[in-house]
Amino acid sequence: MNKKRVVSLSLVASMMLGSAACASKETTTTAPTTTAPDKIETSATETEASLGYEFGLGKTFHADQPVTYTMFFSDASWYPMVDTWKTEGIFKKIEDLTNVHLDIISYDSGDYMNNVTLDINAGESAYIIPKIYDESAFVDGGAIVPVSDYVQYMPNFTEFYNTYNMAPDIRTITRSNGKYYRLPGMLEQCLLNYTFLIRKDIFDAAGVDVESMEATWTWEDLLEALKKVKAYMVSQGMCSESDYIWSDLWCGGESGQGNGGNLLKVMGITYDVNAGWGIADGMRYDQAKDEWYFSPTTDEYKEFLTMAAKFVNEGILDPATFTQDDTEACNQFYNGKTVIISVNQSQYSAWAKGIADVQGEGNFELYATIPPRSKLFNYSTAGNVRLENGVMLSKKALDDLGEDGFIQLVRFVDWLFYSSEAYQLYKWGVEGETFKFNDDGTKSLLPGFKCGGLGISGADEDTDIRLKWGYACGNFYYGHTLAEMSDNYIPEVRHFVESNAKNRETPPIAPGIAPTEDQNEQLNLIVTPLIDEVNAWTLSFITGQKDIATEWDAFVAACQGKRVDELVELYNKIYKG
């Protein structure tokens, strides 16, 4: 096998990935550089003293005069924005604290990027543009401000940047001109989010002790365990030989994005290949050779496909997983037709409630296990990603507000997205109104409240603070320190997060590349049709429509026909400079 000695995640096309650790030089600079500096010093402009607003680390931003900023908003259908978010909830609380009124331009999350792109291209952008995973399409047109020119006015951003050595991570989103255009969510440490929830009662009855297996289990082990569970279910009349006992969500027509979604991303990471939600441009870095390569045509990708296809071929994983709506997968799990399903930190309680509503309390037992490893690597599926989706600021804001007014906007954005005060507000609400501090320093919701976004369940009559007031909303709630990210964990979630950190390794990091405008255009022209081709073949292989053993060479040839060799050559040309 053509194994890579040290390889890592592609950090460029998705513009999302970051570094887990790199030694920092003891230098400080605010002068322009060709890359992100190791340290950033904060500063004030000569005229800021007269602007009349508060700024600085540990201070609540407050504009002396009321000000309105427009902001795009990705409105999720499963917790849609309602009027009380503005009249009583998160937006009202922000305005009360800061004197800033947010004029929300809301688009459904399923079509958010299309609408945002149209508005930006039409010159009608909002000032603040959150929920951006990849800023590449907006950089060259001049509609987006290079935010790296203004981070010295962001005390909360720079404090986190300096304290947790984020410079290597930020360099992965730095362009060829030495600037970056997105303020990303920054993580102190990668934590496992997506994993698998199983019917522990049925596994135990079948003689499968997952708790004793999970530390070292492989995908082969999971397959054998599920075959044993299915045999037991057939013997008990719980299903037939022709039934599937795994039908997953976040993979199909609703959220799988045509690439296999979450399941293939999670599985692909363990084979050190790009797949599913993590397909990006398919490129990965070989540290031993100091060069980039296209992971979907490697032996590792072939092994990944072969293993994934076995779950379908052996009657375990329903091939409809890759086409169905998410609710179908949930309902099958709730009804007891399936015994394993993907889950994340925030949805654990929702899945537990869903099955309780159908099966009845006391008639089942759940267990969230950590994902298996591959036989090749012991990589954590939390990856090494310390950068999340982030915020762009429009050139329209700079033009409308002027330099001083724009810096005031920057100060506000710094407080909103990077201060601990704002993070606590939009995650938990207001102390004494929605939550309290316990004697041990932990937080808990007050009686009568629950929150799907925090993974905290409650009675049917309890008020969900996300649904009613917009707290724990994905437009703001990401990043920050380990303590802040984990302060809502219920025991079941804390278990799988800590178990994963203990038993899996962080994948090594890759350098960033910085294409010019022309090079970026060349990359986009190649990547889009190439990745479409890869995704189509991948799903056909896994669902059995194509045979890996006899058609692998045809797949590689199809990738070559889509200019994969040109992509690799261009990538390495950009990387080598």
Q: What is the pLDDT of residues 358-408, one digit of tens each?
A: 999 999 999 999 999 999 999 999 988 788 889 999 999 999 999 999 999
**pLDDT > 90? residue 134:** no
- The CATH number covering residue 244 comes to 3.40.190.10
Residue 467 has pLDDT above 90, yes or no: yes
The dihedral of CA 566, 114, 109, 335: what is its sign?
Answer: negative
Q: Which among 387, 7, 381 is positioned nearest to 167, based on CA atoms?
A: 387
Residue 82 falls within a domain, yes or no?
A: no
Number of domains in the chain: 1
Per-residue pLDDT, 133 = 84
Whether 325 maps to a domain, the answer reads: yes
433-444 pLDDT tens trace? 999 999 988 899
- Phi and psi at 240, nearest 5°, equal -110, 170
The tokens of 171 are what?
A: 């360099």
- What does the pLDDT average to over 57-61? 91
Report percent pLDDT > 90 for the chain: 73
C-beta of residue 483 within 8 angstroms of C-beta of residue 477: no
Domain membership of residue 322 as a residue range: 195-381+515-576
- Amino acid (one-letter) located at 86: K
d(C-alpha 147, C-alpha 377), whole Å: 37
Chain segment 141-162, per-residue pLDDT in tens: 899 999 999 999 999 999 999 9
Distance between CA atoms of residues 330 and 248, nearest Å: 8
Lowest-confidence range among 227-236, 459-468, 509-518? Answer: 509-518
Query: Once rounded to an integer, what is the mean pLDDT over residues 215-232?
Result: 98
In total, the chain counts a number of residues equal to: 577
The per-residue pLDDT for 36 is 85
Average pLDDT, the chain: 90
The secondary element (H helix, E strand) that includes residue 301 is helix 299-313
The band of 513, judged by pLDDT with boundaries at 50, 70 and 90, is confident
> Residue 11 has what pLDDT?
32
DSSP state of 148: G
Nearest to 102 by CA among 127, 125, 78, 136: 127
Taking a C-beta distance cutoff of 8 angstroms, is the pair 309, 548 a contact? yes
pLDDT tens digits, one per residue of 321-346: 999 999 999 999 999 999 999 999 88
For the segment 79-129, what is each residue's pLDDT rounded down to a tens digit? 999 999 999 999 999 999 999 999 999 999 878 989 999 999 999 999 999
For residue 46, what pLDDT is reported?
Answer: 67
Select from 208, 176, 162 the least CA-distant residue to 523: 176
Q: Is residue 534 part of a domain?
A: yes
> Quick check: is 538 in a domain?
yes
Q: Is residue 291 part of a domain?
A: yes
Q: How far is C-alpha 268 from the chain's CA centre?
A: 15
Say what the pLDDT of residue 256 is. 87
In this predicted structure, what is the pLDDT of residue 520? 86
Helix/strand/coil for 159? helix
Structural domain includes residue 559: yes
Give DSSP secondary structure letters for 50-119: GT-EE-STT---EESS-EEEEEEEEE-TTS---HHHHHTSHHHHHHHHHSEEEEEEEEEGGGHHHHHHHH
**β-strands 387-393, 183-186 pairing:** antiparallel
Q: Is residue 64 part of a domain?
A: no
With respect to residue 233, please indicate whether it lies within any of the assigned structural domains. yes
pLDDT at 482: 86
pLDDT value, residue 53: 65
Q: How far, in Å, CA of 42 to CA of 56, rounded?
A: 9
The SS3 assignment for 459 reads coil
417-429 pLDDT per residue, tens: 999 999 999 999 9
